[in-house]
Amino acid sequence: MKKLILTELEQAMLAGEHGPAIAMCMRLIVGVAKANQATRLIEIESAHADGCLYHGIAGLEYTEKLVELGGKVKVRTTTNVSSLDLLHPDLVHADATLATNGRRLMDAHLALGCEATWTCAPYQTGHRPAFGTQIAWAESNAIVFANSVLGARTDRYGDFLDISAAIVGRVPFAGLHTDEGRKAALVLDFSGISRELLEEESAWPAIGALLGDIAESKVAAMIGLPGDLSDGGLTEDRLKGLGATAASSGGVGLFHIVGVTPEAPTLAAVVNAKVETIKITTAQLRASRDRLTTAVGDDLDAVSLGTPHFSLAEFENLAKELEGGDKFSPSIDFYVSTSRGVLERAEALGYAQILKNAGGRIVTDTCTYVTPILNPKIKTVMTNSGKWAWYAPGNLGIEAILGSVKECIASARAGKLVRNDALWF
């Protein structure tokens, strides 16, 4: 059993010499460090707090207790999605308990000194830790994006632990914070997948679903994925969709794409001495995509884009697809979930108005699969998000269809499912 050694300052924090809130948080951090057999704690540069979404009284009481004890975050801390849309309150069909406690939970995080970002994608609004920096991020897609795309270092943190780390400014030196913990245990080879299929937007959440299914919580390296795709390359949004789905279907906190992600200039740079290589087929990828579609037939009631939150680049592409075209069918509800930071820029550039002119609605501060926004009569929803498709059937009791943004638009205009499956066979 490895022994955890605390500095004099950390011992004083644990003993309550720096206040009861810090002592309370240190007890949790130290307990996790011992469970993970960490030998020391390390300082962090930033945090992202996941516990802003109201799931029950425990999270609210914990956060408000920290406020009562005088707690303040020690590092920059952004806030994840909440249970309310404060900019568009009429969209949320919350009962009195959710409305009241959801707002209290948001207010408590602000009282602790967190930033009012209310987004699962803080990396879209300026919170982008530098390569190699140690951070404590929660929310599964934010974790995998920070680790994989930015090259910052965070383990998988969740409610209670995330805000505690922000208040003490420390985490256990274990897992994905370490060099060894970031080495790949297996390699997925995508060289057998056609370039044409990889150009398709829907291929990337499908890759994520397959990665999560195979890797589970292990680190994997991927080869055979081109970084020079014709429509802008292997963009952050494609990596975002891949990572978010992998973190949902499995427990992926870090992936490497050789020649693309910052820690993987070569395969040798990111793999363990003994590593298994798995050759991926089109049939496997198609099966993963099909797992993200539960609906049968071409009936459609709604479209939901933006899980993780829609980026400014996605808004620009959406506006180009919509401008000058037909409006959405009146039978289809069309939602885009985004952050207030991205929305401000999308409004200034006219992208948001183009969406509204087509009949779309914008959701901020939250997401349609975790908050009661959709009409209860809705039975089938199309999305471009593997994460949304993974969780929504269980959360909402609806049927999901995965498709590209172009297919979602075409379907919303037609009032029924429109999807091109030719490349998948």
Calpha distance 355→359 (Å, rounded): 7
Q: Which residues pair with 77 in a beta bridge?
A: 47
Calpha distance 97→382 (Å, rounded): 30
More confident residue, 418 or 233: 418
Residues making up the chain, counted from first to last: 425
Q: Residues 178-183: contacts with CB within 8 Å, 24+ apart?
A: 181/219, 182/147, 182/153, 182/219, 182/254, 182/263, 182/270, 183/219, 183/270, 183/271, 183/272
Report residue 184 CA to chain centroid gap.
21
pTM score: 0.97
pLDDT of residue 272: 85
pLDDT of residue 105: 98
Q: Residue 93's closest CA among 419, 371, 386, 328?
A: 371
- Counting residues of the chain whose pLDDT is more than 70, the rounded percentage is 100
Calpha distance 134→177 (Å, rounded): 7
The vertex-377 CA angle with 371 and 378, nearest 5°, equals 70
If pLDDT is split at 50, 70 and 90, which confidence band does 422 have? confident
Question: pLDDT tens for residues 31-60?
Answer: 999 999 999 999 999 999 999 999 999 999
Calpha distance 72→66 (Å, rounded): 8
More confident residue, 386 or 230: 386
Omega cis (within 30) before 308: yes
HSE-up of residue 90 (Cα within 13 Å, Cβ side):
2
Q: Residue 45 class from Cβ within 10 Å (0-12 exposed, 13-18 middle, 19+ buried)?
A: middle
Instruction: Find the range with the poorest average confidence among 170-174, 232-236, 384-388.
Output: 232-236
Mean confidence (pLDDT) of the chain:
96
pLDDT of residue 425: 80
pLDDT of residue 222: 98
Residue 362, φ and ψ in degrees, nearest 5: -110, 135
Question: pLDDT tens for residues 228-286?
Answer: 877 678 999 999 999 999 999 999 999 999 999 999 999 999 998 889 999 999 999 99
- Going from the C-alpha of 397 to that of each of 56, 205, 292, 377, 389, the distances in angstroms are 20, 21, 14, 11, 12
pLDDT of residue 423: 80
Torsion over CA: 221, 385, 249, 198 (sign): negative
- Going from the C-alpha of 393 to that of each of 51, 291, 301, 369, 383, the distances in angstroms are 23, 12, 14, 9, 12
Calpha distance 326→410 (Å, rounded): 9
Residues 50, 122 contacting (CB under 8 angstroms):
no
Question: pLDDT tens for residues 118-156?
Answer: 999 999 999 999 999 999 999 999 999 999 999 999 999
pLDDT of residue 233: 80
